Structure 1
Amino acid sequence: MPHFVIDCSKDILEIQDPKSVTLQVHNDANDSGLFEENDIKVRLNPFMDNYLVGGKETSFIHVFANIMEGRTTHQKAKLSKQIVAGLKTMFPNIPFIAINIRDFEAATYCNKSMI
């Protein structure tokens, strides 16, 4: 916990290598001070075909952040802005860069070490 899943158009990987993109999101999440570094997980899903942005096959990056409940709205908003700002620096010409944050419910979360 937390999980950051990056969906993006295929051309993103022609501008920056996947490792650089995942590392950028990892570092921004870590720099937020909200998480232990060893707990941060980042994955990247490039879409080769079959995507539309505004009805066109337009370049995009969207980060889905899934974090344990308990952070304030202010903390989550700051994290969102920090991650989008980092990606905007890497991709100044990409027209659509966004993030949304979803809270995991602690009562229903389970992982291997909890069994």
Structure 2
Amino acid sequence: MPHFILDCTEPILEQKEPKEIMQEVLETAFSTGLFVRSDIKVRLNPYPLKHSLVMEGEEDFIHVFGNIMQGRTDEQKADLSRKIVAKLKELFPDVPIISMNIRDFEKASYCKKDMV
């Protein structure tokens, strides 16, 4: 925990290596002081342009879904989103759509294999 899942168009991966993109997201999330580095998980899902409709056409995009354990303030979550979007904007200044949202995991219903 936390999990950051990046959806993007395939041409994004022609500009930067997937590992580099994921590492930048990890480092930016870690820099907020909200998470332990070894707990941060990042995944990337590329989509062919023909399988997305952005700005009524085939435009590149990056969207980050941040899934974190409940307990952070709205201000902390907003800061996390701003910092990750700013880093991606720095890496991909010509990508027209870069966005992020945060969802809270509920402690009561969260389970992983070492908890059973």
Deviations 1:12-34 (A, max 9, x none): 00111101100010000111110
Count, aligned residues: 115
Structure 1 runs (4+) greater than 3 angstroms displaced: none
Match status 1:34 vs 2:34: yes
For 1:86, the equivalent position in structure 2 comes to: 87
Q: Within 2, Cα distance between the matches of 1:76 and 1:41?
A: 17
For 2:9, the equivalent position in structure 1 comes to: 9
- Return the offset for 1:55: 1.6
Instruction: For 1:47-62, list aligned pairs within 5 A.
Output: 47-48=47-48, 49-62=50-63
TM-score w.r.t. length of structure 2? 0.97
Unaligned runs of 5+ in 1: none
- Return the offset for 1:79: 0.2
> Which residue identity is paired with 2:96?
P
Greater shift, 52-61 or 75-84, is seen at 52-61
The sequence identity of aligned pairs, in percent, is 55
Unaligned runs of 5+ in 2: none
Match status 1:108 vs 2:94: no
> Which residue identity is paired with 1:80?
S
For 1:67, the equivalent position in structure 2 comes to: 68
- Return the offset for 1:97: 0.3
Q: Within 2, Cα distance between the matches of 1:38 and 1:21?
A: 17
> Which residue identity is paired with 1:59?
D
